[in-house]
Amino acid sequence: MSELSSDLEKKIELKGMDLNEIGTIIKNLREKPFRAKQLYKWLYRKSAFSFDEMSDLPLILRNYLSKRAELKLLEPKKKVSSKIDASTKYLFKLRDGNCIESVYMEYQGRKTVCLSTQVGCSLNCSFCSTGKMGFIRNLSTGEILDQFLFINRESDFSITNIVFMGMGEPFLNYENVIKAARILNSELGPEISARKITISTSGIVPAIYRFADEGHKFKLAISLNATTDAQRDKSMPINRKYPINVLLEAAKYYTRKTKRRVTFEYVLIKDFNDSIDDAKRLRKLLSDIPCKLNLIPYNETEFSPYKIPDEERLEKFIKEIHRAPFAVTVRRSQGRDIKGACGQLYLQTKNE
């Protein structure tokens, strides 16, 4: 077997490589080209934890890769399963000692994994626990994928949906997120349908235009969470750079360019954005955009002063917004008893 070229002599991170990149590795090793597809399947479809599991690869190749390639990019540090719903939260430790969170959820027959894309976040949304961490770094494509691969392997059933809504802002780690989504969608990989992969953004407007222009078939979700710039400035500082009217123009462009609906997420916070006037403004803001609206009652955390609206106020808001011409769903937060909101488990563990 030939040695890898000098730029590959150091230990390489195989997870996160696409089929062409793996093909280059195999070619440099002077192995038969079909070995690339075998290795790709072991990485992404079969979620191999070690090279020893890759039984249809030659032993000499497995031994060589085990010395030259990195396979394990994270390890479970803590796992907490809810007693009130079918959700499980994972705290993973990365090789550099940093930690990230992922969540498994079941809802209306869907088995969904929520993936993190960054360690921490720079956007400092006031209702989000992750913002309290500040930004540390982007996750590699492999680190994003390894969250899914670990949870999928541990499960007794196949994951049906992926949401990039965990720690961090996905569109501030654009290339790695898109590459991870493509691998998750790939025919030789997990083969998750593109329409079952959702990428959420707090409103990084240039990336929304880019996402539309590149023609990705993955779903787009935008966290709106306010009906006035004053509200959104306070809760989501990114609004000072990309105010609501600019954000909604980008959303309209996306729907025109792709011929697909955009999903808006609206976290309902007591006495902040849950009034009847808010519901009326929200209906007016979104009425001329092909969209779906997800209403999410706030998941309270000890790191934020915000509270969930009481049921009466919540029902009045929902009744008002249901007069809108677009689809509306109410998505109750899962995992309240396991620190289900992004960043909660990390901060709690750090403070223990």
Tens place of pLDDT for every residue, the chain, 352 residues?
544 444 445 788 999 999 999 999 999 999 999 999 999 999 999 999 999 999 999 999 999 999 999 999 999 999 999 888 888 999 999 999 999 999 999 888 899 999 999 999 999 999 988 888 899 999 999 999 999 999 999 987 889 999 999 999 999 999 999 999 999 999 999 999 999 999 999 999 999 999 999 999 999 999 999 999 999 999 999 999 999 999 999 999 999 999 999 999 999 999 999 999 999 999 999 999 999 999 999 988 776 789 999 999 999 999 999 999 999 999 876 555 545 455 455 444 454 4
The reported pTM is 0.91
In this structure, the number of other CB atoms found within 10 A of the CB of residue 83 comes to 7
Other beta carbons within 10 Å of 153:
11
Q: Which of 313, 283, 320, 282 is nearest to 297 (CA)?
A: 313
- Asked whether the domain spanning 74-351 has the same topology as the one spanning 6-70, the reply is no
Q: Domain 74-351 classified CATH 3.40.220.10?
A: no
The shares of helix, strand and coil residues in the chain, as percent rounded to the nearest 5, are 40, 20, 40
Catalytic residue numbers read 101, 342
Name the residue among 51, 19, 54, 13 with its Cα closest to residue 34.
Answer: 19
| Enclosing H/E stretch for 178 | helix 174-185
The residue count of the chain comes to 352
Ordered by start, the domain boundaries in the chain are 6-70, 74-351
Vertex 257 angle, CA 252 and 258, to 5°: 100
Residue type, 231: Q
Task: Give the span between the Cα atoms of 130 and 339, in whole angstroms.
Answer: 12
3-state SS, residue 174: helix
CA 118, CA 165: separation in Å to the nearest integer?
Answer: 11
CATH code, residues 6-70: 1.10.150.530
